Structure 1
Amino acid sequence: MIKSNLAVGPMSSEVIEAVFRVSHYQRKELMLIASKNQIDYDGGYVNKWDTREFMSFIKSMREKYPNSQVLICRDHCGPGFNGNFDLENVYKTIKSDIENGFDLIHIDFCHFRGSKEEMLNESKKAIEYCLKLNPKIMLEIGTDENEGINFNVSNLHELEREIDFFKGFCKPEFYVVQTGSLVKEINQVGNFNRPFIEKVKKILDSKGLKLKEHNADYLPREEIELRKGVVDAMNIAPQLGVIQTSIMISKCLIYGIDFNDFIEEVYGGMKWKKWMQSNSGENKFLCLLIAGHYHFGSEKYKEIMKKLEEREDIRESIINEMVEVINHYG
């Protein structure tokens, strides 16, 4: 049984350490949620780690923070999330995750190229494979692509039918619900639909599932309070990457360190495109803020950090800011 109400994307080693530090000193259970783009069996953009290397770092954090309770979770395990729609790729991720000691896997086939029925059946096969490798692996389900849509009562029957389908062969920990939240650029642009979510919550409670909200970044305190009693756990990730990038920018400006080459690298990487809303790609500074974290493993970023380390404990500065974000949600 998971007690944590917050799941954090492992955007960098500093973010990961902040999660362990908060968990250790506050005796609080937290979750780390790795996407296939971030960490995978064949590598990812976070420090260019593969799953084994990621878990080696997790081991070092557990040794450094022995009182921490951090669950290691796979976010959005399904075809298409890393641009690869091959199901074999998904199964390799599952196998590597379980072999390396992940605690929970989110099976999400929303990008599956087929009918709804085919999607559900393939989801079932993937879950059965998880349980075959580790009968105790915890599961998160939810197959709707998040578009910030406010669902209504007419969606409840379909939602209940899907839950019953999964409950027929497994006991999921979380069900991902489209709450209306949506992240674009460096903002929360969605609208939380509490009356509808309260109805969903009643259904989930009756079936022994917890409600998980994705894309909960950039929420003010009053919005977090609004979710109490209906949302059991929230995911945040891009917000932390943006904040770390902004710290790097601020420190470079303070110490007169040139970061133009990094701007060009991030801009040329085009990872900012999927996050754009009303602005065009002409604003390179905004693109840097949005997508800088995809390049934290690059040599240009490492060169900047090395220069900053000569002037202050930049790693500690970043970790402290990440702790503040986690506490804001906690």
Structure 2
Amino acid sequence: MTTNGSTRMPTLGIGPMSKNAVDAAVELARDRGRRIMLIPSRRQVESAELGGGYVERWSTAQFAEYVRGRDEAGLLLLCRDHGGPWQHPGERAGNYSEDQAMAASLASFRADIEAGFDLLHIDTCLDLDGAAALDRAIDRLVKLYGECHEAARELGREVRFEIGFEDQGVDTNDPAEFRDQVTEVCSRLAAGGLPAPAFVVAQTGTKVLETENTGALLTAPSAVGFAVAQLARVCEEVGSSLKAHNADYLTADSLRRLMQRGVAAVNVAPEFGVVETRALLALLDELGLAAERDEFLRLAHDSGSWRKWLKPGTAATDHERAVIAGHYVFATDEFRELKDRIARQAPDVDHRLRAAIYDAQLHYLVHTTTADAIPAPVLAESVRTA
């Protein structure tokens, strides 16, 4: 399937949860000869002027420079995930008005375009105090889409778009309602002389909470598959493709079911942060570094970054909450000092962490790509050997 009138887009979006996650994705794309989307949210990577993000303390420009400097084959696409008003925590903390939040999100998108991003996900599902009303979300989406398209034209850049205007839930969209919504948006875009989006995000029965997928795909796979096929047809009718978010913690069978029903690409992010955290804890246990292990768990738990991922009425322990939040502290001064101490006992620490992440990413690349497009399994020697 082609999207936005030209080249087929990759099937997998990987969240750059850490420097090691980025490096693993570079290795994976190179080893497999496959294109992969890197999908930083505004919380993860943001322009310095707008407060930055938590991943490696990279600004948008620094992140792009780092990736381009290592991706010699040009296989990684830089794709903004969840760009839009109130998508950066500073905008809610600062009690931004609609005008302020829209201006900040446009400034963020402009920084993406200047840095050479390939795809912009315009997500207008939020308001200052919660979820945005659908009509307001659509109005804001169309406005930002046009402004970003014009900014790209002025800068001589070619950029594609992904659109979404609902927060992720456990069920699927009603196909008839989805058709009405997507048709309205794409008709308004076309009336403004704007291209169709490469991807439309829908509710596909996938929802991450804590360290599992709680979506209906796992409990009612046949019903979800039937609905997803209809959602995919709607996207095709408007010249776009269906994308599934929150595809973390899915089995090979679940991934294949989504792809067979017409999903063109999936996003996976928090799982890779949890994989790295668990790999680090296993290494600390292996080395008998109990004090360092406890210090890391304390840093992660005290960050509070696990709160957004908890199930209602959760029974998650403090340890489990720390595992959810581990990757949020990787770029802090406290963790960097701790990691320096760990590296004195395990100089290959980053090799080992990247190997664990690589394996997790490989699972998704293999099972979101047709069998005839996948070469025989290849091990990345640079991440698997110290």
Rounded Cα–Cα distance in structure 2 between residues aligned with 1:93 and 1:287: 30
Q: Shift of residue 302 of structure 1?
A: 1.6
Distance 1:3 1:119, change over 3 A: closer
More divergent stretch after superposition (208-217 vs 280-289): 280-289
Residue aligning to 1:138? 160
TM-score (norm 1): 0.93
Structure 1 position 81, deviation (Å): 1.9
Q: What is the CA-CA distance between 1:52 and the residue it aligns to?
A: 1.6
Give the drift of 1:278: 5.6
Kept in 2: contact 1:281–1:287 (CA 8 A) = no
Specify which of 218, 238, 250 is matched with residue 207 of structure 1: 238
Find the aligned partners of 1:296 and 1:79 in 2 and give their Cα distance: 26
Aligned length: 327
Pick the aligned partner of 1:197 from 201, 223, 228.
Answer: 228
Name the aligned partner's letter for residue 141 of structure 2.
Answer: S
1:88 aligns with 2:103: yes
The SS at the match of 1:22 is helix
CA distance in 2, matches of 1:153, 1:133: 33
Distance (whole Å) between structure 2 residues aligned to residue 157 and residue 260 of structure 1: 51
Tell me if 1:290 matches 2:305: no
- In 2, distance between residues paired with 1:155 and 1:175? 14
Equivalence for 2:9: 3
Tell me which of 30, 41, 57 is aligned to 2:36. 30
Partners in 2 of 1:269 and 1:52 — Cα distance?
26
1:322 aligns with 2:357: yes
Task: Identify the residue that residue 121 of structure 1 maps to in structure 2.
Answer: 139
Unaligned runs of 5+ in 1: none
Does residue 19 of structure 2 align to residue 13 of structure 1? yes
Structure 2 CA distance for aligned equivalents of residues 54 and 3 of structure 1: 21
CA distance in 1, matches of 2:288, 2:357: 24
Kept in 2, the 8 Å contact 1:251–1:308? The answer is: no
Distance 2:314 2:9 in 1: 41
Report Cα offsets for 1:262-301 as digits up to 9, x if no partner: 2222222211111111664772110111011111101232
The partner residue of 1:99 within 114, 117, 133 is 114
C-alpha separation in 2, matches of 1:278 and 1:119 = 26
Gaps of 5+ in 2: 1-6, 218-223, 366-386
Query: Aligned partners of 1:306 and 1:282: how far apart in 2?
Result: 30
TM normalised by structure 2 equals 0.80
CA 1:294/1:2 → structure 2, altered by over 3 Å: closer, same or farther? Answer: farther
Moved more, 281-290 or 238-247: 281-290
Contact 1:151 1:178 in 2 (8 A): yes
Other-structure match for 2:372: none
Higher alpha-carbon deviation: 159-168 or 94-103: 159-168
Letter of the 1:199 counterpart: Q
Post-superposition Cα deviations, 1:67-121, rounded to whole Å, max 9, x if no partner, equal 2410001001111222315222101101111111111100010103664333322
Matched position secondary structure for 1:172:
coil
RMSD across aligned positions (CA): 1.8
> Does the aligned pair in 1 maintain the 2:300–2:323 contact within 8 Å?
no
**1:109 equivalent in alignment to 2:132:** no
Residue 297 of structure 2 is matched in structure 1 by: 263
Moved over 4 A (4+): 278-282
1:39 deviates by: 0.3
- Aligned partner of residue 216 in structure 2, secondary structure: coil
